[in-house]
Structure 1
Amino acid sequence: MEHPVKILIVEDEMIIAANISLQLSALGYEVTGIIPRGEEALEHVKQNKPDIVLMDIQLKGELDGIETVRLIHQERDIPVIYLTANADDDHFSKAKGTHPFAFISKPFKKLDLQRAIELTITHIQSEKIENSISELQSGEAFVLSDAIFVRHHEKMVKVIIKDILYIEAERNYCRIHSKDKQYLLATTLKDMDEKLPKKHFIRVHRSFIVNVSQIQEIATSHIVIGKKAIPVSKALKEELLNRLQTI
């Protein structure tokens, strides 16, 4: 099942915020809320757990954007992209101390926003994985503990690991078969095998990696997943059987 990246907009100019929300929705992202005040943003992050926060630096109210981010980071390590109409050195220096993933100066183009978000998504992995997993050379996919981010129709989408059935090699590409969709990635099966979490996946053939939890039948020379007969090489079958015995 595909889960869009969740983004919170913290912006007190509501026309700008509504416009950003429309652009994000058009790009396939899920907007968890449009919040005008830092105090409200703190509560929203706790309840809705967005993947990314778009934060206006100059917020009205007791908390400005930079202080709001500091308080958010005390509770949760979440990537932040700053929006600012005032890109002077003082603001930049203060904001830099909260380790944002990007700055966008207003007014900005849709492409600026899209690129900043995609760059942020590609960096999320290093924050989430204990032993930072390097991005695949193609930049087409990367792995979190419970999901894989893949490029699909010009945007990055999150595919939950337990919904993946198997991954099939197609020359220099890989095709991820999930319960309801397929995703073609410009990377090799070898690269995918190195990046995927071993507790969930195992390579059973030079052309196939399978999700161990999705195996329905085991025959002499193949296994069955979702009505698909997948060949198992002799060299890898013993490892597969050992893995199944330990589950």
Structure 2
Amino acid sequence: MAKLNIYIVEDSPIIAAALKQLIIKLGHTVAGVSESYEDAVEHLSKAAIDMVITDIMLSGKKNGIDLGAYVKEHLNVPVIYQSSITDTGIVYDAMRTGPLAYLVKPVGRQELSTALLSVEAV
């Protein structure tokens, strides 16, 4: 598997740090971390990334689904959602943006590894 540059968008510093460590242990690079849609949009346009992993609920007015739609339209890189939200309506809204995966927190090593393997198929 190729080494990926992954950008994390997560408003919980503890979860962001854990996800960052997991990504590094899987042999990939974390290109940056943001807590909000607005901060992510500002930094994503400047970062060399292969994919984005975003939470659904973020700091600020817009959420991770908004970010997923933005990334698909403007950056054309895969998105993985990770969230503790399992509400069918929200999951459906997220899936309409065409993500690579929707992972339920806490995200485990095996499920993240499997989702990242899908990047090469995209």
Could you say which TM-score interval applies, normalised by the shorter chain?
Answer: over 0.9
Which structure is higher in RCO with an 8 Å CA cutoff and minimum separation 6?
A: 2
Aligned to 1:21: 20
**Counterpart selection for 2:121 from 100, 123, 126:** 123
SS at match of 2:7: strand
More helix by share: 2
8 Å CA contact 2:35–2:58 kept in 1: the answer is yes
- Length-normalised TM-score, structure 2: 0.92
Matches within 5 A, 1:46-195: 46-119=45-118, 121-124=119-122
How far the C-alpha of 1:93 sits from its partner, in A, is 1.0
Structure 1 segments, 4+ long, off by >3 Å, are none
How far the C-alpha of 1:60 sits from its partner, in A, is 2.0
8 Å CA contact 2:22–2:109 kept in 1: the answer is yes
SS at match of 1:48: coil
Segments of 5+ residues of structure 2 without an aligned counterpart are: none
More strand by share: 1
SS at match of 2:80: strand
In structure 1, what is the Cα distance between the partners aligned to 2:11 and 2:101? 19
SS at match of 1:43: helix
- Across the aligned residues of Structure 1 and Structure 2, the Cα RMSD in angstroms comes to 1.3
Percent identity of equivalent pairs:
31
Paired residues in the alignment total 121
- Length-normalised TM-score, structure 1: 0.47
Mark the structure with the bigger radius of gyration.
Answer: 1
Partner amino acid, structure 2, of 1:122: E
